[in-house]
Every structure is written in structure tokens, then in C-alpha cells.
Amino acid sequence: MRVGIVGLPNVGKSTVFNSLTRAGAEARNYPFTTIDPNLGVAAVPDGRLRALAETMASKKVVPATVDFVDIAGLVAGASSGEGLGNQFLGHIRECEAVSHVVRCFEDENVVHVSGRVDPTGDVEVIQTELLLADLSTVERRLERTGKAAKSGDPKLRAEAAALGELREHLFAGEPARTFPGSDAIEEVLGTLITAKPTLYVANVDEASVAEGNSYSAQVEKLAAREGAGVVRLSAGLEAEVAELPEPEAREYLEMLGLRSTGFEEFVRAAYRLLGLVTFFTAGEKESRAWTVREGSTARTAAGKIHSDMERGFIASEVGLWEDLVEAGSWAKAREEAKVRLEGREYAVKDGDTMLVRFNV
């Protein structure tokens, strides 16, 4: 999963990125600190994996990961090249999902590009630029298809009609992800920035993390209207917590009335948004978390582990992670009938632990 972090300059994108990945991206109080995108990989915190590894006395523990891309701040006019906009928009297109960081805090020491904190206006600026970029893409495709459709080809005529509807949808200020969709332009939709799953990050001050504030409420309302995901966090707090040992971090969060870090909430929201689930493999040698699309078959999941397993798949032993932890071992779980044998078409569930049988 590759997530692009976008937003206006000085809203906390690089601070969020650093707290998520500990990658040390430069974060300064002026626009365009980030020109080339910063890349980072964050391990997905998962207590289920830790419990399995402890139960199996695993020598190695490998969590699932998320790739983050810290993309430079966009500004009004980015779609026409302002602020190196064309370059930055190209970076967004390479991501599977977009995380839009919105400033929801007051701080006179941190300059705001428009001179005041305005989450709704900030979102509109970014959304407008992304829509204009997509509109340009659709209009170019429509021009080519429209000319070709004059030949009378039914397929091209259907595509041209669907592109025209999509153009009007974008022109009305609606993102491509809310377009009803059409098989005729499925390929085009896959290239559009506003078609990507979007997760809004309301970046609040530390005092507002638990309950939010009037600014974050605006972001939550916008996300609900668009059918996008939303998570509230404090980039500053996340940066502090990331530097603490886990026991101290948990104690600090509890003191603030929080059950988990903003990053953990972020990952959960991103998984829901992208329709992802986690399954595990566990044993003495290694316990590992794997990520697949919801509804993936056992055979497809086996291919995530190794292509030979998918090619020579026979069956998989499957048990829920908590049943294996309670039993204490695969052997004991089998004895207690907590492990079942599943075929290649079995749809993997979140939290499944698998042992694949294969032959090549």
C-alpha cells in the first residue's frame, strides 16, 4: 500500500510523515521545503502479531508495512504548474491512496499560506487543483475519442458519452470517486487523482486530539459528504510519542485519554478505505503479517507468501489468531478442532492464521 500525503504548505505534512515513518524528512516553517517526494516505510502496529509471535516463540517477527510518500505542498494554480504543481501532481498519481492533511490548529508561530486557519477553504483549494488536473485528462481523452467515435463504432460512442458525463461531474466540483462509474471508461477512471481513495487527516493541537475542535468538525463534515475516510491526530503529539519507548508511550496516551496513537487510527482507516485485510503465518522460525484485498482467495493469499505456493497450492490449514494463542501451538489447536482445512477458493478473513500445503 502506497499512500501519498498531500495538503497546502505548512499544514504539518512532513511532521505527520516523520511521525509515521521516523524517516527524518525536513520539516520547516516555509513553503516548498519538500520538493522531491520523501519516501518512507512504516511498520503496521498489530498486537495480534505480537501475541502470535510470543505464543510460537518466533525467532523473527515481520509486520505488515505501509509506504508513505511526502509530497510537496500544493498551492492554487498547481494544475497549471504553479509551485511546481505538475511535478507534484505526477507524484500523487503513482500512489494507491491519498492522505489529505488539513490544518486544524492555531499557532501564530506557524505561517499559514492564506493568513488564517480555514479547513474548508484549504480543502477546496487542494480539491479544485486535483479536479482541474483530472478535468484536463478527461478532456484530452474525450477529444481523441470523440473524433474516433464519428466512425460509428458503438464502443467508442459509448466511451465518448461516458466521458462527457464524467467531465460534467468533475466540472460540478465532484471527485471522480463519486462518479457512478461506467465499464466504458474504467481504464480512464483508474488514471484520475480524485478517483483514488482519500483519507482526510485533521491535524489538531494536542489538547483537541481526544474530542476534536470546530476546525476538525469541518473536515469530518466534508469527508462525510464525499464518502471519504477521516482521522483526527496531532502531528506534534505523534512526533513526541514516536520517540518514546512503547510502555512510556502507552502511559502518556492513557494520560491524554487516548487508547491508541494517531498512526494506529490512520492505518485502520486506510485499511478500511482500501478494503484490505491482514492474515498471518506463525511458527518458531518466523511470525509475519501479510496484507491482501478483502475477498482474496486462499490461493491468492498463498501467492503473497511465495509464487510457488500459489502455483502448487493444495490446501491451507486456517485458524483464528486468538484460537491459536489460546491453544498455545498449531498441534494443540488441531487437537482442539480450532484449525480447519480450506481449499483454494476460501475467502481469507482478517485475523486468519494460515499454514499452506503445496507441491511443485
Q: Which domain holds residue 147?
A: 125-192
Residues 131 and 114 in one domain: no
Domain CATH code at residue 313: 3.10.20.30
Residues 33 and 111 in one domain: yes
For residue 88, what pLDDT is reported? 60
Residues 84 and 216 in one domain: yes
For residue 83, what pLDDT is reported? 42
What's the mean per-residue pLDDT of the chain? 85
Residues 155 and 181 in one domain: yes
Is residue 253 scored above 70 in pLDDT? yes
Check: CB of residue 280 under 8 Å from CB of residue 353. yes
Residues 82 and 112 in one domain: yes
Check: CB of residue 35 under 8 Å from CB of residue 84. yes
Residues 152 and 218 in one domain: no
Among candidate residues 170, 192, 214, the one where a domain is terminated: 192
Check: CB of residue 17 under 8 Å from CB of residue 239. no
Tens-place pLDDT, residues 83-128: 444 456 777 888 888 889 999 998 887 766 667 889 999 998 888 8
For residue 331, what pLDDT is reported? 93
Residues 325 and 186 in one domain: no
**280 in a domain, yes or no?**
no
Residues 178 and 206 in one domain: no
Among candidate residues 162, 192, 222, the one where a domain is terminated: 192
Which residue reads 498512526 in cell numbers? Answer: 263
Check: CB of residue 6 under 8 Å from CB of residue 74. yes
For residue 79, what pLDDT is reported? 46
Q: Taking CA 343 as the corner, what is the angle to CA 268 and CA 323, rounded to the nearest 5 degrees? A: 50
343-353 average pLDDT score: 96
Among candidate residues 221, 237, 272, the one where a domain is terminated: 272
CB atoms within 10 A of CB 140: 10
Residues 301 and 243 in one domain: no
What per-residue string of b and e applies to 5-26 under the rule 16 or more CB within 10 Å gives b?
A: bbbbbbbbbbbbbbbbbebebe
Tens-place pLDDT, residues 12-41: 887 887 777 764 433 343 344 444 567 788
**176 in a domain, yes or no?**
yes
For residue 23, the one-letter residue type is A
Check: CB of residue 263 under 8 Å from CB of residue 45. yes
Residues 152 and 266 in one domain: no
Domain CATH code at residue 7: 3.40.50.300
**12 in a domain, yes or no?**
yes
Residues 15 and 80 in one domain: yes
Residues 28 and 111 in one domain: yes
Higher pLDDT, 222 or 18: 222
329-348 average pLDDT score: 95
**204 in a domain, yes or no?**
yes
Q: What is the tally of structural domains in the chain?
A: 3
**277 in a domain, yes or no?**
no
| pLDDT cut 70: percent of the chain above it | 90
Q: pTM higher than 0.85 for the full model? A: no
